[in-house]
Amino acid sequence: MAIFKPQDLPKSKYIVSIVAKIKKGTKIKVKDGKSYLFKKTKDINNLEKVQTDFQKYKKILSPNDKFSFIFNDGKNYFRFTDIDKAPFSGMGGQSRNTLGKALADAGELATVMSLKKDIKTAKDTGQSVFKNNPDAFDDWYNTFQLTKPAVVNIVGSLNNYDVIHDATDKSEFTKTITSFLKKSKIGNSNSWNPADIYVIKKSKRADIIKEMEEIVETYDISDGLVNMFNNKLYKLYTDKLLYPISLKQIISDKANVDYTNKPGTIKVANYNIKIDKFNCDLTTEGKEIGLFTFMNDDTKKKINLQVRGFPHSYGTAQTEITSDGTPTGGRLGKIPTKVVDSVMNQYDDTRINSIRYFGTPKQFSNFDKDKIKETYEMYETVIKESKVSNKKKISKEDFEKTIAIAKKDMDIAKNVVMKIQGLKIMHFFVKNKESLSAIMNKMINGAKKISDSNGFFIKIY
């Protein structure tokens, strides 16, 4: 008999997509291979409000911890686990979380492809992830239909433009961007500009590359180089010669467009922010410490932040803001590590920036009694905060046993290493909660790539 743990439960996005299909009158395929038109029952309507909190699922769970039969077409009854490709253990197909980076990469490649050809079926994407996971294709379908019209609305006809995909292009244009990043010591391209594509005027491409190369060759001081390069990038946009565009998954029925880092008009986040709820789980279950939720008092919207691996592994974690508390609630993405480091350093703190802190190649080989004591003291400080939810409190002895297990089991080590890094960030927020607004605004700006040193880009989402 399969027992479903909290981490195996359906995530809210999955629930919302199922409910949306039912409300539209779309048939849902189940594991017998047939499709059924589910009734719009009271249980179905309640599901739309369900979040990832385990307690909120009790209403739809039967006593033996299996999902209740809450779907029906008037004759037949089904559970979540009966739905084809459902993201649960033992169901075949991979969960959306397991697909992770592979799904994001496939989505980006197919979105770029959608600028040149119509994508109506999973097969049209040329991506095995979508062919093997039809529910994932359904989630990206709007993106493939709405991105091109949004780009055309910005650029005009694409006939006179080349579309350069940043991640796959090997041309002189991308080499020039790489030279700029290296000389300015910025690091990776995304830290400077999250544009996924550059839409460039075909007839002026060689001239544009030459102008950009001249700036890289002429300026030696990093600040001067960055300012001149950014100004040139924006000038090329205003001259309708070059459009840096960041492509995001479009989950609504309409594409939103933001213009970010216009020189002289940079609008940084400056919100009143406080802790709403932190989930602190230092057990071996799950892949992260828990969700960090803040309240944006100005917009009355919530900000969600996570600390996890990209991908999940025995390695260093990254910090990601998944909702920024603005009226549109836009997903922002990862905060560059240099931003996290800079902010934490201002408050005499540091993140764990190397797996050597734990030990490598043997997992947790450097994690001695002093580090166990240091970590557990952080945990004790965090769980004393009234806004921290700690349903599975562990003793120091339990934590010592967890480390001992992690030293022998790499799968457990992958979870624990991410949780401790998340705990370190959580401890930083709790310890500096009086300065939380200043800290979070800097992190939001970093996640949005908003600053004088970041390049202009257009985001479609």
pLDDT per residue, tens digit, the chain (461 aa), is 233 344 444 444 456 567 767 777 778 777 666 788 888 776 666 654 443 333 333 334 444 444 456 677 888 777 666 665 443 322 223 444 456 778 889 999 999 999 999 999 999 999 999 998 888 898 899 999 999 999 999 999 999 999 999 999 999 999 999 999 999 888 778 889 999 999 999 999 999 999 999 999 998 877 789 889 999 999 999 999 999 999 999 988 899 999 988 876 666 778 999 999 999 999 999 999 999 999 999 989 899 999 999 888 999 999 998 877 665 455 567 888 888 998 999 999 999 999 999 999 999 999 999 999 999 999 999 999 999 998 789 999 999 999 999 999 999 999 999 999 999 999 999 999 999 999 999 998 888 777 778 899 999 99
Q: Are 244 and 235 in contact (CB under 8 A)?
A: no
Q: Are 430 and 292 in contact (CB under 8 A)?
A: no
Q: Which of 221, 245, 223 is nearest to 165 (CA)?
A: 245
Pairing of strands 35-36, 28-29: antiparallel
pLDDT of the residue at 12: 45
How far is 23 from 38, CA to CA, in rounded Å? 9
pLDDT of the residue at 46: 60
Q: Are 257 and 154 in contact (CB under 8 A)?
A: yes
How many Cα neighbours within 13 Å face the side chain of 282?
29
pLDDT of the residue at 130: 92
Pairing of strands 457-460, 242-247: parallel
DSSP assignments along 257-325, one per residue: EEEE--TT--------EEEEEEE---SSSSSSS--EEEEETTTTEEEEEEEE-SS-SSS--EEEEEEES
Q: Are 413 and 363 in contact (CB under 8 A)?
A: yes
Token output for 99:
């697909």
Token output for 81:
């686990």
Q: DSSP state, 393?
A: -
Q: Which of 315, 352, 350, 310 is nearest to 333 (CA)?
A: 310
pLDDT of the residue at 422: 97
Token output for 190:
């995304």
Q: Are 82 and 54 in contact (CB under 8 A)?
A: no
Question: What residues have CB less than 8 Å from 344, skipping those under 6 apart?
Answer: 350, 351, 428
Exposure string over 10-31, b if 16+ CB within 10 A, otherwise e:
bebebbbebbeebeeeeebebe
Q: Are 296 and 325 in contact (CB under 8 A)?
A: yes
How far is 343 from 438, CA to CA, in rounded Å? 9
Q: How many CB atoms lie within 10 A of CB 433?
A: 14
pLDDT of the residue at 76: 79
Q: Are 38 and 26 in contact (CB under 8 A)?
A: no
Q: Are 332 and 444 in contact (CB under 8 A)?
A: yes
pTM of full prediction above 0.85: no
Rounding to the nearest 10 degrees, give the CA dihedral for residues 60, 61, 67, 68. Answer: -60
pLDDT of the residue at 14: 54
The CA–CA distances, whole Å, from 402 to 359, 396, 397 equal 16, 10, 9
The residue whose two tokens read 């027992």 is 3
Give the phi and the psi of residue 244 in degrees, each rounded to 5: -80, 120
Partners of 298 in beta bridges? none
Q: What value, to the nearest 5°, has the Cα angle with vertex 401 and ends 397 and 406?
A: 145
pLDDT of the residue at 333: 75
pLDDT of the residue at 378: 97
Residue 282: alpha-carbon gap to chain centroid = 22
